[in-house]
Structure 1
Amino acid sequence: MARLGPWVPDRTPGGPDMPPVGIAVSGGADSLCLAFLAARWRRAVRALVVDHRLRAESAHEALLTLDRLRDLGIPADLLVLEGLRRGPGLADRARRARYAALTRACRQAGIIDLLLGHHADDQAETILIRRRAASGPDGLAGMAWISSTADLRLVRPLLGFGKERLRATLRHAGLAWIEDPSNADVRAERARVRGALAGDPERAELARRSAARAGRARMVADHGQAVALAARTEYAPGGWVALPADLLCPRALASVLRMVSGGDYPPSRRAVDALAAAPRAATLGGACLLPAGPALRRAGLAWLVVREEAAMDAAVPARAGACWDGRFVLWAPPGLVLDGVTFGAAGPVARWAPPGWRSRWPARAWRTLPALHRDGRVVAVPLAGICHAPDLADVRIALLPGALAAESGLFGDLPPDGPGDGPGVGPGGEFALAVQERPDMGV
């Protein structure tokens, strides 16, 4: 865990309360083992148990998991997902709902580090699935040891260990876990890949090795992209980005489009490649590429990426902590009454900007700003510094995109002493091979 830091200091007896490290727990062997180990590593931890409500037994299993965690001295919260239905795209819909619920719970609890129970076998499965989907080099790096969202570090400490070692750890500790029958449902692609790899450990190891190689290459590319984008692009608090012409390469463009749209994934590689090769005004993946106006061109910025208006979410009730369009969070003073106020797109500038108001950014960008509405009209656009309702003057809105324009993940081999300290060993190195030789040993 020290190699996956830095971490918020742990709580000490008699000392001040410290923000806990979160642990996503399903009740299965992988996440329960993670919780067991995390509680032995530090005191300030908190488990988040997600009940997807997709099986009749799930409510009972979630309560059983809460009991097991409390027996281990681990405080835990239950997060119930409502509205999920079986059907096409269930795995993706469930994943989105799960991460949204985990993010909200972490924000409320002050958690900035969330531990996830993905392991070496999951990594091998991911690589084979992405190969079949013709993922690019970044996708074939697999899952990262550390990845970041707008307000969370997602940490996967078990990527170097196979699932049999995790189960051996639980058996040695005398702990039972829940087996989810949907994990063996061959109608799901991951279950089919899991079955194929179960009888071919050499293929699984080759997949993990390839992920480590691709991960090292991805970190080099991510670093170069981060330096270039930080130095030469302009980011607006309203969520749009201006770029110079020579940074409109496919990789950077895909990342910026994803960040501005708030999408889980970048647009298709083929579409991004075509747009980067022949830049033009276009809409792609929930964002729009526009030629920059004269003021931006004088600053060396040739293109603007803004949110696609037609793809933005509908307005939501305004309340402290409300999130709109997957990118903006509302903050309000305690006790402020927001009854009758909604939180959504600002819309046409003429409806809310004072007379004579001018900006170097185009109206098409300003229309995508988050605003507060009351009685059918815009009463405040905090990110533009405009407020027509004195009682809302202290409301703030922050941009918290779910995706970053430049990733900061730790892929490939885990460094021996800390991120960036050396080549190390990891999922594809000698240490991983050694631990796989004795699955009965546990972690």
Structure 2
Amino acid sequence: MPGQPHGPAEPLGLRQFAPVMAALGPWPGHGVPVAVAVSGGADSMALAVLARQWRPDVVGLVVDHGLRAESRREAEQTIGRLSALGLSARLLVLEGLERGPRMAERARRMRYAALSAACREIGALDLLVAHHAGDQAETVMMRQHAASGDDGLAGMALVTPMHDVRLVRPLLSFAKPALYATVRAAGLAWVEDPSNADLRTGRARARQALAQDAGRDAALKAQALQAGQARMERDRADACWLASHARFHPGGWVVLPAGLAPPRILSALVRVVGGHDYPPDRTRINLLAQAPQPATLAGVAIMPWRDGQWLVAREEAAMAPRMPAWTECVWDRRFVLRAGSLPPDCAMGAAGAVASWWPARRGRPVWPARVLRTLPALWHGGRVVAVPHMGVCTQGGMADAVFVNHPPQPVLPGARFGGETGNAV
């Protein structure tokens, strides 16, 4: 069997796994499935074994990236192994992923998009992934080399909210040898991805360095635990600040008080309003937090508004172009379209100038025209026919269309854009 670990280890079982899952709850009642991302490697196979022991309604999601000739065969083997555990599984095939620049990042984005979509289809609220203690140490080492801030050095969180599901990492306290032992004890084989040993990648180099320095490995895991606890405290304090001072609009912008926001919060808001996975430049954020002034950065405009307040809104020139519209598609990495039916050749994109004409006919707009132009809209026949956030629809059959603001990352764990449901003007 491939991938033998170094040193003896005892397999994990329900006695070790159940308390971890209890602490990460509450969990939905039986009948609502819990999804498990299974690559076919020893780590994810061990997670599948443990999850199946924990509850019966677990569904394995197996992604085929299509980047290696043998990937489909390995994915089908993995589904067969999951079936042997009595665990139902789905094969998710990624289309359009090509080799080239930033391939790992593109693959990760497409993988999680496919996993999230599958969770919606099966009604799963939680997605388990198999990151373990070794992965955590590697992550912290890589972030040290990248000069990450305190949040980055906290490593991966046990729970990360995504669009419609919670991403849960129940194995972060368990070492890889125990996961190998768990799979062997279950009598299962697994897949070894050769890219895991490719020293051209930063993670593989970090893994090699930690394998040669057990002391540093232990120190990084301890550091991640301590930093993670500190990050949770900062998250709680920031959540209180946001609840007291920020007003989120479902159209994608945020209203802030005269002093803008503390740097950490301002950074998170710029990332979310811009639809980015990563925070903006720290130096510019710190300068703005110290001395608020109009600015644009990372596709976001920070502009003064009424009574000394500030708006943090999408920069019009940075938005995604118009694209074909279909229900559940995502535009500008932030808005999910939900509609019962759409006419042929319907498109979605920024509302543009028409969003400032309509409210002008009814009196003074509540929001600046610069902000209204960034609202998502439906286009047909070369013109805007619906701007759901404004309650405007000029073409039959589209009245039920809505755009839900789902940026790639929340402002804070568990945070979402506010619950305003009225018109934007």
* TM-score, normalised by the number of residues in structure 2: 0.89
1:229-268 mapped onto 2 (5 Å cutoff): 229-268=242-281
CA distance in 2, matches of 1:50, 1:311: 32
Which residue of 294, 300, 322 corresponds with 2:329?
322
Aligned residues of 2:342 and 2:398 also touching (Cα < 8 A) = no
Q: Give the 3 Å change call, closer, same or farther, for CA 394–408 of structure 1 in structure 2.
A: closer
- Post-superposition Cα deviations, 1:380-408, rounded to whole Å, max 9, x if no partner, equal 00111111112211222211222222235
- Higher relative CO (Cα under 8 Å, sequence separation at least 6) belongs to 1
Which residue of 338, 354, 357 corresponds with 1:331?
338
CA distance in 1, matches of 2:282, 2:329: 33
Shift of 1:271: 2.3
Task: Return the letter of the residue paired with 2:51.
Answer: A
Q: Give the 3 Å change call, closer, same or farther, for CA 350–123 of structure 1 in structure 2.
A: closer
CA distance in 2, matches of 1:260, 1:345: 15
Which residue of 375, 378, 392 corresponds with 1:372?
378
Shift of 1:347: 1.0
Q: Where in structure 2 are there 5+ consecutive unaligned residues?
A: 1-20, 416-425
Aligned residues of 1:349 and 1:363 also touching (Cα < 8 A) = no
1:311 match = 318
Residue 317 of structure 2: SS of its match in structure 1? helix
Q: Which 10-residue stretch deviates more, 305-314 or 197-206?
A: 305-314
Shift of 1:357: 4.8
Q: Which 10-residue stretch deviates more, 366-375 or 348-357?
A: 348-357
Aligned residues of 1:349 and 1:366 also touching (Cα < 8 A) = no
Which residue of 285, 292, 304 corresponds with 2:298?
285
CA distance in 1, matches of 2:224, 2:258: 32
1:343 match = 348
Residue 21 in structure 1 maps to residue 41 in structure 2: no
Shift of 1:149: 2.1
Q: Give the 3 Å change call, closer, same or farther, for CA 33–283 of structure 1 in structure 2.
A: same
1:273 match = 286
CA distance in 2, matches of 1:256, 1:351: 25
Shift of 1:337: 4.2
Residue 388 in structure 1 maps to residue 388 in structure 2: no
Shift of 1:247: 4.4
Shift of 1:352: 6.1
Residue 403 in structure 1 maps to residue 409 in structure 2: yes
Q: Give the 3 Å change call, closer, same or farther, for CA 82–357 of structure 1 in structure 2.
A: farther
Percent pairwise identity: 54
Q: Give the 3 Å change call, closer, same or farther, for CA 102–357 of structure 1 in structure 2.
A: farther
Which residue of 309, 331, 341 corresponds with 1:302?
309
CA distance in 1, matches of 2:49, 2:202: 30
Q: Which 10-residue stretch deviates more, 244-253 or 160-169?
A: 244-253
CA distance in 2, matches of 1:107, 1:402: 16
CA distance in 2, matches of 1:2, 1:237: 34
1:429 match = none
Task: Return the letter of the residue paired with 1:347.
Answer: G
2:183 match = 170
RMSD over equivalenced CA pairs, Å: 1.6
Residue 94 in structure 1 maps to residue 107 in structure 2: yes
CA distance in 2, matches of 1:234, 1:216: 27
Aligned residues of 1:124 and 1:207 also touching (Cα < 8 A) = yes
Shift of 1:311: 2.2
Q: Give the 3 Å change call, closer, same or farther, for CA 280–63 of structure 1 in structure 2.
A: same
Q: Where in structure 1 are there 5+ consecutive unaligned residues?
A: 11-17, 410-443
Q: Give the 3 Å change call, closer, same or farther, for CA 277–32 of structure 1 in structure 2.
A: same
Q: Give the 3 Å change call, closer, same or farther, for CA 402–20 of structure 1 in structure 2.
A: same
Aligned residues of 2:294 and 2:304 also touching (Cα < 8 A) = yes
Residue 306 of structure 1: SS of its match in structure 2? strand
Shift of 1:374: 0.3
Shift of 1:88: 3.0
Task: Return the letter of the residue paired with 1:348.
Answer: A
2:24 match = 4
Residue 212 in structure 1 maps to residue 225 in structure 2: yes
Shift of 1:332: 1.8
1:414 match = none
2:67 match = 54
Q: Give the 3 Å change call, closer, same or farther, for CA 114–357 of structure 1 in structure 2.
A: farther
Shift of 1:162: 0.7
Q: Give the 3 Å change call, closer, same or farther, for CA 408–389 of structure 1 in structure 2.
A: closer
Aligned residues of 2:116 and 2:163 also touching (Cα < 8 A) = no
- Post-superposition Cα deviations, 1:242-295, rounded to whole Å, max 9, x if no partner, equal 111334221010011111111101112122112222322211122111111x3x
1:353 match = 358
Number of paired residues? 394
CA distance in 2, matches of 1:350, 1:26: 45
1:76 match = 89
Aligned residues of 1:255 and 1:405 also touching (Cα < 8 A) = yes
CA distance in 1, matches of 2:216, 2:334: 40
CA distance in 1, matches of 2:387, 2:122: 28
CA distance in 1, matches of 2:371, 2:55: 46
Which residue of 198, 205, 208 corresponds with 1:185?
198
Aligned residues of 1:120 and 1:159 also touching (Cα < 8 A) = yes
Shift of 1:345: 1.1
Moved >3 Å (runs of 4+): 349-352
Shift of 1:5: 0.4
Aligned residues of 2:386 and 2:394 also touching (Cα < 8 A) = yes
